[in-house]
């Protein structure tokens, strides 16, 4: 396989029943900006609010040449990008769309595809939109480019109000959806057209059989159902994916894995002072084979000591899924952005590439409530406090869902900043809610006790 397969599916309406079969121009002016909502998109309590160190999820972020550890600190660097313009976009973009590689939408009109000159994708569909963008003030809304950005309590938001913020999220979603044809079944290799109901609504598949296959498909080939809790249909697909690692693979929004991660994100959003945001995309993080082997060896050793899987409700090594937020210095996870960056400031990419590294502990925070460890939480809204973008214009945030070998956890409610390992006889520290913590933390003290498993991007308000 020469390149990582795209797993984005078109969002479509699925009727109550489907036939049970086995069927294997010219540039336009930017649209009028959306009517301004009476309720503007002001900052919530989670907008750019620095998290107190006392409740920080510690572990230092990696540099470009090292592996990453769980530092939840934020940088405040703003990056900008230059824009290129072109004469005509329709012929080139139409050709790309025909080949199934449709570009994302113009950053001004949000209607036409971006112009491709053969070697470069420009941010606009043509001269009209490029001119409109160049005439727009940098203080104008990033979506409508007409009204000024909302400023409240000294913080400048990327949009003028809630209407444009919502529209921007919808446009970003639609850009991904254009990568697949709208009339063919989404099972690779199936020549049949999608099923359409009497009122014209189209599903994603040609039949109920293929609908079931798609929702449970192997995340690599998408042609056959995955095997149980495994993400792949076969050893061949699993091995091929690991050879491509480290990398990320997008999970379709109708897939059972997407729903599982989404349910955990929403169900563990416990901060009443900030609204649970809309998830935009979920990616499976594929780690290198050697990294996976080390994690599994550690998990098996912990299992051998504790025999956890013999007890009802416990998995091998008492493995759990926990959240971690950190700094993103690129746009990985956004539409079309699946390549890791090389920035030393991008803790997110470093963690996904090489996992966490205790050797970088205290590099940014200087302390940890429960010593030098890798900090995570079962509360997604707590980890969100530590998720940040160095680009203040970003419309999404990113968070990692990790798999962690908890083993035998030692419960703590009081600080112990000198810890470098769990107490004798234990494998981790369970920091519980009490006088010192408002939300839980899980701390491990060995690199091989944790691996990044999923990348989740969601609306940033």
Write the CATH number for 343.
Answer: 3.90.228.10
Which residues are bridge partners to 404 per DSSP?
A: 320, 450
Q: What integer pLDDT is reported at residue 303 of this predicted model?
A: 97
The reported pLDDT for the residue numbered 132 is 74
Nearest by Cα to 203 from 4, 6, 459, 21: 21
CB 267 within 8 A of CB 304: no
Tell whether 59 is covered by a domain: yes
What SS3 class is residue 310?
Answer: helix
With CA atoms as reference, report the closest residue to 407 among 328, 304, 322, 312.
304
99 belongs to a structural domain: no
On whether residue 101 sits in a domain, the answer given is no
Is residue 28 in some structural domain?
no
User: What is the number of domains present in the chain?
Assistant: 1
- For residue 226, the enclosing domain spans 53-85+126-459
CA dist 39 and 45 (Å) reads 16
Query: Is 171 inside a domain boundary?
Result: yes
Contact predicate 145/132, CB 8 Å: yes
Which pLDDT score is estimated for 138? 65
Number of Cβ within a 10 Å radius of residue 430: 18
202 within 8 A of 196, measured Cβ to Cβ: yes
Helix 289-306 × helix 235-244 angle, to 10°: 120
In 10 A of CB 313, how many CB atoms? 6
Are 95 and 117 spatial neighbours (Cβ–Cβ below 8 Å)? no
For the record, the structure tokens of 135 come out as 């005439």
CA separation, residue 449 to residues 61, 97, 442, 444 (Å): 17, 44, 11, 7
Q: Which two tokens stand for residue 184?
A: 């063919």
Separation CA 196–CA 364 (nearest Å)? 55
Q: In this structure, are residues 449 and 443 in contact, taking their beta carbons and an 8 Å threshold?
A: no
pTM here? Answer: 0.62
Residues 6+ apart with CB under 8 A from 344: 63, 64
For 362-395, the three-class secondary structure string (H helix, E strand, C coil) is: CCCCCCCCCCCCEEEECCHHHHHCCCEECCCCCC
427 within some domain: yes
Is residue 110 exposed (0-12), middle (13-18) or buried (19+ Cβ within 10 Å)?
buried
> 246 preceded by cis ω (within 30°)?
yes
- How far is the C-alpha of 135 from the C-alpha of 149, rounded, in Å? 16
Rounded CA gap, 202 and 15, in Å?
8
pLDDT in tens, the chain (461 residues): 444 444 333 333 333 334 444 444 444 444 444 444 443 333 333 444 444 443 334 444 444 343 444 344 333 333 333 333 333 334 444 444 334 444 477 877 777 788 887 677 888 888 888 877 766 656 788 777 778 888 876 677 787 887 777 666 655 444 443 334 457 888 888 888 888 776 777 788 888 888 888 999 999 998 899 998 899 999 999 999 989 999 999 999 999 999 999 999 999 999 999 999 999 999 999 999 999 999 999 999 999 999 999 998 899 999 999 999 999 999 999 999 999 999 999 999 999 999 999 988 877 666 688 999 999 999 999 999 999 999 999 999 999 999 999 999 999 998 898 999 999 999 999 999 887 888 999 999 999 999 999 999 999 87
80 DSSP assignment: -
Q: Do 203 and 211 contact (CB within 8 A), yes or no?
A: yes
pLDDT of residue 61: 41
Q: Report angle CA 226, 230, 236 to the nearest 5 degrees.
A: 70
With respect to residue 358, please indicate whether it lies within any of the assigned structural domains: yes
Contact 205, 214 (CB under 8 A): yes
Does residue 262 belong to any structural domain of this protein? yes
The residue with tokens 């010192």 is 436
Classified as helix, coil or strand, 236 is helix
Query: In the structure encoding, which two tokens stand for residue 327, read together?
Result: 């700094």
| Token pair in block for residue 214 | 């798609």
CA atoms within 13 A on the CB side of 119: 0
- The helix (run of H) or strand (run of E) holding residue 452 is strand 450-459
What span, in angstroms and rounded, lies between the C-alpha atoms of 257 and 250?
11
């Amino acid at each position: 396989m020469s390149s990582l397969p795209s797993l984005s599916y078109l969002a479509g309406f699925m009727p109550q029943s489907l036939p049970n079969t086995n069927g294997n121009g010219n540039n336009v002016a930017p649209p009028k900006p959306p009517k301004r909502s009476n309720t503007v998109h002001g900052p919530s309590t989670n907008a750019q609010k620095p998290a107190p160190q006392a409740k920080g999820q510690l572990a230092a972020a990696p540099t470009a040449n090292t592996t990453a550890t769980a530092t939840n600190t934020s940088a405040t660097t703003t990056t900008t990008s230059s824009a290129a313009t072109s004469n005509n976009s329709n012929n080139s973009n139409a050709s790309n769309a025909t080949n199934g590689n449709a570009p994302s939408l113009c950053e001004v009109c949000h209607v036409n595809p971006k112009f491709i000159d053969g070697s470069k994708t420009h941010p606009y569909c043509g001269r009209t939109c490029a001119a409109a963008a160049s005439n727009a003030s940098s203080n104008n809304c990033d979506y409508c480019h007409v009204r000024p950005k909302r400023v409240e309590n000294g913080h400048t938001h990327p949009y003028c109000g809630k209407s444009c913020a919502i529209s921007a999220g919808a446009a970003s979603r639609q850009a991904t959806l254009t990568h697949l044809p709208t009339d063919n079944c989404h099972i690779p290799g199936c020549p049949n057209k999608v099923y359409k109901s009497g009122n014209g609504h189209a599903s994603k598949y040609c039949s109920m059989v293929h609908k079931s296959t798609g929702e449970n498909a192997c995340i690599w080939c998408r042609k056959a159902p995955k095997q149980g809790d495994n993400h792949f249909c076969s050893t061949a697909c699993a091995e091929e994916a690991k050879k491509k690692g480290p990398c990320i693979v997008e999970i379709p929004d109708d897939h059972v894995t997407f729903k599982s991660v989404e349910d955990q994100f929403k169900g563990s959003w416990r901060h009443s002072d900030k609204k649970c945001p809309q998830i935009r995309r979920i990616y499976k993080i594929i780690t290198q084979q050697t990294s996976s082997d080390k994690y599994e060896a550690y998990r098996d050793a912990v299992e051998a000591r504790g025999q956890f899987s013999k007890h009802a409700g416990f998995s091998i090594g008492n493995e759990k899924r926990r959240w971690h937020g950190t700094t993103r210095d690129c746009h990985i996870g956004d539409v079309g952005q699946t390549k890791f960056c090389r920035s030393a400031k991008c803790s997110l990419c470093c963690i996904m590439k090489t996992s966490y590294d205790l050797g970088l502990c205290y590099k940014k925070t200087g302390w940890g409530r429960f010593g030098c460890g890798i900090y995570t939480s079962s509360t997604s809204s707590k980890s969100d406090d530590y998720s940040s973008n160095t680009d203040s214009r970003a419309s999404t945030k990113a968070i990692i869902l990790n798999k962690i070998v908890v083993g035998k956890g030692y419960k703590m409610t009081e600080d112990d900043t000198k810890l470098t390992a769990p107490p004798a006889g234990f494998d981790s520290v369970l920091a519980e809610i009490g006088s010192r913590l408002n939300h839980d933390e899980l701390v491990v003290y060995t690199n091989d006790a944790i691996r990044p498993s999923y990348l989740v991007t969601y609306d940033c308000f």
